[in-house]
Amino acid sequence: MNPSGFGGAAASGVATRILGLDPGLRITGFGLIDSLGSQLRYVASGCIKTRDGELPGRLKTLLDGVREVIATYRPDVVAVEKVFVNVNPQSTLLLGQARGAVICGAVACELPVTEYTALQVKQSVVGYGKAHKEQVQDMVQRLLRLDASPGADAADALACAICHAHGSHGFGGLAGVGARRRGGRALG
């Protein structure tokens, strides 16, 4: 029996486990897939939910939730959807802080993080950068051969992982963890 779940394809390589994250202050979707060549296998998905309350506590919930998902499923890499500019500056700021918390959760676990725009994710998964959420959910269900369509937040996170698996390299990937360099000297 092949433990990777990829049939004979595992003989030619090792699967990469990808954690996709769709950050939100109220609900952060997560989705994990294994990728081996062009083959994708669903592992798990769900949501990290925060309760109403003070911002620092909500951010800690997201940070702890991401770290728990990583400890449970042991991904190799993380793909995160980039912030979009919203007409409401306060909402954009809060979303940016939520993204920061989930990225910190991944980096604290020493995982490489790559970011993708919603346009890149939709283009990679649906073939059309302005696809609707329902189209993304439908394609995620088809690509991962799921019995039912995942919820919107989990589907977006799985789509981000699929985008990474398809080789759509994001802008501003955080390939290194630990000390950063600026002007020839280490920071950190």
Q: pLDDT per residue over 13-25, tens digit each?
A: 789 999 999 999 9
> Where in the chain are the domains?
14-173
Superfamily per CATH, domain 14-173: Ribonuclease H-like superfamily/Ribonuclease H (3.30.420.10)
Sheet architecture: strand order including 39-49: 39-49, 27-36, 16-22, 77-81, 113-116
Task: Render pLDDT for 86-126 as a digit per residue (tens, 0 to 9).
Answer: 788 888 899 999 999 999 999 999 999 999 999 999 999 99
Give the predicted TM-score (pTM) of the model. Answer: 0.83
Q: Lowest-confidence range among 26-30, 40-44, 81-85, 123-127? A: 81-85
Cβ atoms of residues 57 and 95 within 8 Å: no
- Look at residue 46 and tell me whether its pLDDT is greater than 60: yes
DSSP code of residue 174: B
Which residues have a catalytic role annotated? 22, 81, 153
Look up tokens 């004979």; give the residue. 8
Residue partners of 61: CB distance under 8 A and separation at least 6: 48, 50, 51
Q: What mean pLDDT do residues 26-48 have?
A: 96
Residue with tokens 């979707």: 29
Beta strand 27-36 with 39-49: parallel, antiparallel or unpaired?
antiparallel
Burial 46-57 (b: 16+ CB within 10 A, else e): bbbebeeeeeee
How confident is the model over 22-44, as a mean pLDDT? Answer: 96
Name which residue leads in pLDDT, 2 or 7.
Answer: 7
